[in-house]
Amino acid sequence: MIRGDRIFGVCMIVLALGYILSASGIQTSFMSDPVGPRAFPYMVAGVVILTSVVMILRPDPDQEWPAGPMLGQLAIALAVLAGYAKAISPLGFLIPTAIAAGVLSWQIGGRPVRAAIAGIGLSVGLFVLFRVILGLGLRGLPSGMGF
């Protein structure tokens, strides 16, 4: 895993540098806040670069890769997240977030009813945080259904 950690660290640094390059193209308005819209992407990229350098310099000792059923669980989680990324634009924030959070909560080991409640709670809580508290223009439901 030592070698794998270092390769992953280098790949993440390259991705973070691409993220910085992409964020540098964000157009700013004359009425933007003093920090500007590039600050958050730059901070995220900075944290990724810092953690990647730590991973390169201090990799974990060799570990066994997951096998069998765990690889299946990881594939399901990846499929759920990819589906979430595709569904959030046409379906709004609330429905895809509730489904994705519920499925991932169930995978972690929750009971189906509790996982569904956790998914709905997380979806509504994040929507309130992003829309009401942070004031982001987030669409909650599909077009024509409300908020």
Predicted local distance difference test score (pLDDT) of residue 48 = 95
Distance CA(65)–CA(55), nearest Å, equals 17
* Residue 141 buriedness (CB in 10 A; 0-12 / 13-18 / 19+): middle
pTM listed for this prediction: 0.63
Q: Report d(CA 15, CA 89) in Å as an integer.
A: 24
For position 30, what pLDDT does the model report? 62
Query: pLDDT tens digits for 77-114?
Result: 999 999 999 999 899 999 999 999 999 999 998 799 99
Amino acid code (one letter) for 92:
G
**3-class SS of residue 138:** coil
State the CB neighbour count (10 A cutoff) for residue 76: 14
Residue spans of alpha helices (H) in the chain = 2-23, 39-57, 69-91, 94-108, 112-127
Tens-binned pLDDT, residue by residue, of the chain (147 aa): 677 888 889 999 999 999 899 888 877 666 556 666 677 888 899 999 999 999 999 888 876 777 888 889 999 999 999 999 999 989 999 999 999 999 999 999 879 999 999 999 999 999 998 888 877 778 888 877 655
What is the C-alpha separation between 119 and 27, in angstroms, rounded?
35
